[in-house]
Structure formats: structure tokens, C-alpha cells
Amino acid sequence: MTEIYTLYGLAYDCPHIDRKGDCPLKVIEQLPFKKKVLWINELSQNEKEIILEHHKACSKNR
């Protein structure tokens, strides 16, 4: 359950000020938060895990 809250937080705003071009959440960056949540809720578990792994790798490189 914590993973979904992490995804919502990442969708709300990038913790590193700006999203890199390869960020999977870049495609929803301009959406209102409610639509971001709906988009995330439609993802498969595998897609959610890919986004979380990308975030972990991105955080290590900043």
C-alpha cells in the first residue's frame, strides 16, 4: 500500500525539482492531480514497479 502513496507523491511533484526527460511520469506532468491519480490507478502492478525502480535509479544519480 505504501507504494501507491509513493507513486501519488511522485506524480504530484518530482522530489528533485524537475523531471528528467526519461521520467515515466513526464507524460502526466501537466495533468491536474486528480487525473494523475486516475492514470496511476489504471496502471498494471508491473508498470507501477517500473516507475518506482526508475525513481530509485534516478535518485541515486542526482
pLDDT at residue 61, as a whole number? 83
- Select from 60, 44, 46, 37 the least CA-distant residue to 25: 37
pLDDT at residue 17, as a whole number? 85
- Can you give the residue range of the structural domain that contains 29? 2-60
- How many domains are contained in the chain? 1
pLDDT single digits (tens) 2-57: 899 999 999 999 998 889 999 999 999 999 999 999 999 999 999 999 999 999 99
Give this prediction's pTM. 0.88
3-state secondary structure of 39: helix
Q: Where are the alpha helices (DSSP H) in the chain?
A: 2-12, 33-41, 45-60
